[in-house]
Each structure stands twice: as C-alpha cells, then as structure tokens.
Amino acid sequence: MSNIAYMDYNATAPIVPGATQAIVDALACIGNPSSVHGMGRKARALMEDARDCVGAFVNVRSDWVFFTSGGTEADALAIKGCGRERILVSSVEHAAVLNASEVVETLDVDANGIVLLDGLEDRLKNDSRPTLVSVMAANNETGVIQPIAEIVEIAHRYDALVHCDAVQAVGKIDFDMQALGCDLISLSAHKMGGPQGVGALVKRPEIKLQAQISGGGQERSLRGGTENLIGIVGFGAAAKEKTNFMRVKALRDDLETQIKGLSDDIIIFGETVDRLPNTSFFALRGLTSERQVMALDLAGVMISSGSACSSGKVKASHVLAAMGVGDEYANSAIRVSLGWDSHKDDIDKFVQAYAKLVERVQQKNSNRSDAA
Ligand code: PLP
C-alpha cells in the first residue's frame, strides 16, 4: 500500500496484524463449533476465547455477546427482535438502523447532529407505548459523539429500552457498555481492524429477543447458522489490539489545520463538539463530492463521500440534511477517516492532492467573476 494513502477507515479498517495471524492459525482448524468430537470442541474453544475478548472489550461478561454477520444484522436483530411497538431512532443513524423496521420514527438533532434530549423526553412522555430508543454512539460520517449516558437515563425513566449502534465508536474512544447503561449494542469487526462479515449483538441477559434467523439454534437460539469461525477469531483478536488514538488525533488535527490554510471556504462538520479522533468530514463548495473522490483516487488517495453504503449513489448525505446543512455544502462533502496504520505521509499526500482541487475551484470562481 506504499503508494496509496488509505484514509477510509470508517468504511473498512485494514486488518490489524494480530487478527491476520489469528485468522491464518484458525484456517487450520477444521471443526464445526457445534460438533461434539475433539475437532469440534477445539473450534468451539477458539470461538469462546473470541467471545471473551469481545465481551472484555466493551466491559461485559462474554455470555452477553452473540455473534452475527456484522453490524447491519446486529442492528436488525435488536430493533426487530425486541418486540417493542415503537422504535425511536435519531435521524442521523446509519441505514442499518433507519431501515431495520417499518415502525421506525426519527428524533430530531441539532446543527451538529446531536440528538435533542428535550425532544426525546417529550416523545416518551406523550406516548406510553412500549418503546426502544436506538441512538448511535458516534456517527459514521461526521464522527460526532452522542450523549449516550444521558439518553439512557431519560429513556429508562420512561421504561424504554436503549439500543446503541456502537459500530464506529468502539476501539476509537473508550466504550463501556455497563457504565453507559445501554441494554443492547451492535458491533462490527471490520470497523476495528477485524475481518468483514462478522459482528455482534451484545445484550443484557434479562432482555429477551426474538431470533430473526432461527435455523439450528446456534448462538443460544438467537442466531441460527454455523458460526463464521474464522471471522469470529479475527474479531476476537482485533478486540485485543489497542490503537493509540492520541497519535491518530494528532494526524487528523494536522490535516484539518492544513486544509483550513488552503481556503476560508472549507467547513468542517461537527468541528466544535466531541468527535471521534480519527474522522474529518468537510466540504469545499464548487466541486461535487464524487468529483473530489475520483480526483483523489487518481492521485492514490482513498477517501469517501460519506457513508460507504451510500457512495456510488449520487445522493446528498441524510446526516447533513438532518443537521440542516444546505445542498451547496452537502453535495461537496468528503470524509477522511484514519486509523492504526495511518501516517504523516498519508496526510501530506492528501493535502498535496486536495490543494490542487481547491486551486481548481478558486480558478473556476475567479473566471466566473471575471466574466460577470
Ligand atoms: N452502523 C454503522 C454506524 C456503520 O457505520 C455501519 C457500516 O458502515 C454499520 C452499522 C453496518 O455494519 P456492517 O458493515 O458490519 O454491516
């Protein structure tokens, strides 16, 4: 990857060396974790070791952890499986939450994308139907962190359950499920240095869920289907790694200082509030996000125009729309996200390529004003 600056960790992080090694070792294990013979028991032991690591990672007992095929499935299991009549979710949630159920109702956010707590309380006070509140720990596009402990405190006062999509937060900031008081959380391995296609729904033991895939009753009847042993082992190993996010934050801050020096017309979303240390989402008016992503790609810089799941579609970010950002900025927003293998060279490569785009826009604007 030496000639490439990979800066799209919020889409998928490169696999950490410890997880790669654990996966390679696990490939030699041929047993099915449900088989009772020795090889099966060996496979199960590997899986249970990984469950311990994932549980410890978010400070819960391992029996709270149920492996799934990723964050999307964990979100769907929590939202569809909880049996609550009403589902209140923030309007900046990932599509995995927004599209998990037809009865999802959205909660308003402020200009930084933070859930309005008074609005949440009003909604709970004025309607006593059994409710699940689902709010993400940190946004995948802006990196803005939600006040989860406060949300839990309000929701529990009205007997609502709280699910938190922690997919982007874990590994980037401290995340202690018990300290926050969440009832259910979703995790995804490939956002934290593990492989794609594996994640977990973590829940308090007293919360009863309806399985969405029953099959052969694996995962204590909550998620049928032979477990993705290789993926689970990689997930467990990734959960043991500690990234130095102060180092990553210094790189992100350096990038932001440099781009702000290029033009006064660059907006960084969520700049003044608590954000993930690795994420920067910003807009340069006058050049669409897609054009910027393509130009940077040609320069060997891999970034994204928002959430990976919606890139490819020419559609402004629903997150920015919920924050009240106008089309002019929303249509030109790009996201840079860093991680364990990011270095100063990546930042310099990005800034060099981005400076050319800024120049292009400035040239276009001055040609326009000359013609006027
Ligand atoms: N939730 C959030 C906040 C995400 O960013 C993503 C992926 O981008 C998901 C859920 C979906 O996770 P997965 O890709 O593991 O299905």
Which DSSP symbol is given to 267?
A: E
In whole angstroms, give the CA distance from residue 151 to residue 158: 11
What does the pLDDT look like over 26-57, one tens digit per residue? 999 999 999 999 999 999 999 999 999 999 99
CA of 52 relative to ligand 1 center, distance in Å: 22
> Which residue, judged by its Cα, is nearest atom 5 of ligand 1?
140
Say if CB 181 and CB 198 are below 8 A apart.
no
> What is the model's pLDDT at position 2?
64
> What is the model's pLDDT at position 17?
97
Q: Chain-wide mean pLDDT for the chain?
A: 95
CA of 372 relative to ligand 1 center, distance in Å: 46
Tell me the pLDDT band of 146, cut-offs 50, 70 and 90. very high
- Which residue out of 54, 75, 167 has the highest number of ligand 1 atoms within 8 Å of its CB and is therefore the one to mutate? 167
Tell me the pLDDT band of 106, cut-offs 50, 70 and 90. very high
Tell me the pLDDT band of 108, cut-offs 50, 70 and 90. very high
Atom of ligand 1 nearest to the CA of 72: 16
In whole angstroms, give the CA distance from residue 9 to residue 297: 15
Fold identical between 5-13+243-371 and 17-239? no
Please check the confidence at residue 10 and state whether its pLDDT lies above 60: yes
Strand partners, 188: 199
CA of 200 relative to ligand 1 center, distance in Å: 11
Any catalytic annotation for residue 29?
Answer: no
Percent pLDDT > 90 in the chain is 92
Q: Is 188 in the pocket of ligand 1 (CB under 6 A)?
A: yes
> What is the model's pLDDT at position 315?
75
> What is the model's pLDDT at position 61?
98
When pLDDT is averaged across residues 142-171 and rounded to a whole number, the result is 98
> Which residue, judged by its Cα, is nearest atom 10 of ligand 1?
71
Q: Is 70 in the pocket of ligand 1 (CB under 6 A)?
A: yes
CA of 48 relative to ligand 1 center, distance in Å: 24
Tell me the pLDDT band of 242, cut-offs 50, 70 and 90. confident
Q: What is the phi/psi pair of residue 27, to 5°? A: -60, -25
Tell me the pLDDT band of 253, cut-offs 50, 70 and 90. very high
CA of 138 relative to ligand 1 center, distance in Å: 11
> Which residue, judged by its Cα, is nearest atom 8 of ligand 1?
11
> What is the model's pLDDT at position 306?
66
Q: Is 96 in the pocket of ligand 1 (CB under 6 A)?
A: yes
Atom of ligand 1 nearest to the CA of 74: 16
- Which residue out of 69, 164, 185, 191 has the highest number of ligand 1 atoms within 8 Å of its CB and is therefore the one to mutate? 191
Q: Is 168 in the pocket of ligand 1 (CB under 6 A)?
A: yes
Q: Is 71 in the pocket of ligand 1 (CB under 6 A)?
A: yes
When pLDDT is averaged across residues 139-152 and rounded to a whole number, the result is 98
CA of 125 relative to ligand 1 center, distance in Å: 31
**Tokens, residue 340:** 């364990």
pTM over 0.85: yes
> What is the model's pLDDT at position 368?
76
> Which of these, 272, 280, 281, 270, lies nearest to 249 by C-alpha position?
280
When pLDDT is averaged across residues 98-116 and rounded to a whole number, the result is 97
**Tokens, residue 141:** 């596009």
CA of 223 relative to ligand 1 center, distance in Å: 18
When pLDDT is averaged across residues 252-277 and rounded to a whole number, the result is 97
What does the pLDDT look like over 329-365, one tens digit per residue? 999 999 999 999 999 999 999 999 999 999 999 888 8
Tell me the pLDDT band of 371, cut-offs 50, 70 and 90. confident
Domain chopping of the chain, boundaries? 5-13+243-371, 17-239
Please check the confidence at residue 160 and state whether its pLDDT lies above 60: yes
Percent pLDDT > 70 in the chain is 97
Could you please report the per-residue DSSP string of 186-250? EEEGGGTTS-SS-EEEEE-TT-----S--TT-HHHHTS-S---HHHHHHHHHHHH----HHHHHH
- The CATH fold assigned to 17-239 is Aspartate Aminotransferase; domain 2 (3.40.640)
Label residue 242 exposed, middle or buried (CB < 10 Å: 0-12, 13-18, 19+). exposed
What does the pLDDT look like over 301-339, one tens digit per residue? 999 996 555 555 557 899 999 999 999 999 999 999 999
> What is the model's pLDDT at position 307?
55
> What is the model's pLDDT at position 188?
98
Atom of ligand 1 nearest to the CA of 12: 8
Q: Is 199 in the pocket of ligand 1 (CB under 6 A)?
A: yes
Name the CATH architecture for the domain at 5-13+243-371. Alpha-Beta Complex (3.90)
When pLDDT is averaged across residues 121-148 and rounded to a whole number, the result is 97
What does the pLDDT look like over 164-219, one tens digit per residue? 999 999 999 999 999 999 999 999 999 999 999 999 999 999 999 999 999 999 99
> What is the model's pLDDT at position 281?
98
The DSSP H or E segment spanning 283 is strand 279-284
